Amino acid sequence: MRLDWAQFDDVGADRLWIRPLGLLSGGAAAEANASGTAWPLAYARLAYTFVGVFGFRRERRPVSIVASIGELDAWLAGSGARFAERVRRQLVLLSVPRPPWAGFTLDRPLVMGVINVTPDSFSDGGRWFDAERAIAHGFALVEAGADIIDVGGESTRPGAGPLPPGEEVRRVEPVVRALAQAGKVVSIDTRHKDVIEAALAAGARIVNDVSALSDPGSAALVAGSGAAVILMHMQGEPQTMQYDPVYDSTLIEVLEFLDARVAGGVAAGIPREQIAVDPGIGFGKQLVHNLELISGIGAFHTLGCPIVLGVSRKSMIARLSRGEPPEARLPGSLAAALFAVQQGVQVLRVHDVAETRQAVAVWEAIASS
């Protein structure tokens, strides 16, 4: 069947995106790469044989098509020539291995363990609110296999109100300091410049910002510190973000947002290789939006940054199942994590570290056999 490339005629040359499809792993990926019938994906031992091509037409109408490598090449050599430079750049970014990020080589998925030093987080609010218990939990997560410990002091669950930065610092600073002094890699989960500054001084190596460094001065602070950063997409604020969020195309809009925020970080002096991106599952998104982002997660490789995904215990799992409470959502969390790993996602942010590490290890052994 002949592909209808004409539907892209009114898509702006700078508004086209691609995503890897038809993924292979292990020996099949190696053979396909060697024969030229597939292209390598950023994560080792993966390859893709098809691409999804998509973008906005006039009046923000999304359009998409699935093409083989040969069909894409033929289009770019003909009627799609005006997209050739952009698509070729994205293809390179899909294929080249990522350089080390935050001191980690990205030749395997990293596991980021969550510590909420809060009384009101959606999953474990109050459980680790005491600093000593939070510190002990951090060491337990490392023992269970966490590469990174993500410490947060402000709940960003849907409906949560803002927390004064001073109180947030009081909650997280002793936890960050104790874990960092013990040589653990600590990430600070915050959207406030003052908290970033205090956490970096206490030894945090990564800034995980749900607002993508929107607080004035945050980008310059991170740039001057040499820390790595995770830029996340959120529509609105935690207090109101789930009040009927609307998208014309969730995947395109989140890609465009993060592309702009990465460019802003680079302009502020943050090396691109120190920037990771997170599509922000559940942050200003309904179930259908979350599913679109997870199913299309491979497209975020075109930004040239490591991808972080946090689906662990989130409400979308209960909505797809039987309404289970957060502590009963492990199977769904693992299903999402393994799908993400198959798409080359480099960092999984999870509550259940040992279980995630085991699931990933089994998947990798099967995929590479």
Give the SS3 label for residue 337. Answer: helix
Which residues are CB-neighbours of 31 under 8 A, at least 6 positions away? none
Give the SS3 label for residue 126. Answer: coil
Residue identified by tokens 């292979």 is 24
Alpha carbons within 13 A on the beta-carbon side of 286: 7
Active site residues: 314, 349
Among residues 162, 171, 185, which one has the least CA distance to residue 112? 185
Among residues 46, 188, 111, which one has the least CA distance to residue 346? 111
Pair 47, 23: CB distance under 8 Å = yes
Pair 69, 152: CB distance under 8 Å = no
Which element (helix H / strand E) includes 63?
strand 62-68
Pair 17, 302: CB distance under 8 Å = yes
Burial of 297 (0-12, 13-18, 19+ CB in 10 A): buried
Pair 263, 255: CB distance under 8 Å = no
Residue 62 CA to residue 72 CA, distance in Å, equals 19
Residue 33 CA to residue 41 CA, distance in Å, equals 10
DSSP string covering 137-206: HHHHHHHHT-SEEEEE-S--STTPPP--HHHHHHHHHHHHHHHHHTT--EEEE-S-HHHHHHHHHHT--E
Which residues are CB-neighbours of 255 under 8 A, at least 6 positions away? 17, 299, 300, 302, 303
Residue identified by tokens 């950063």 is 229
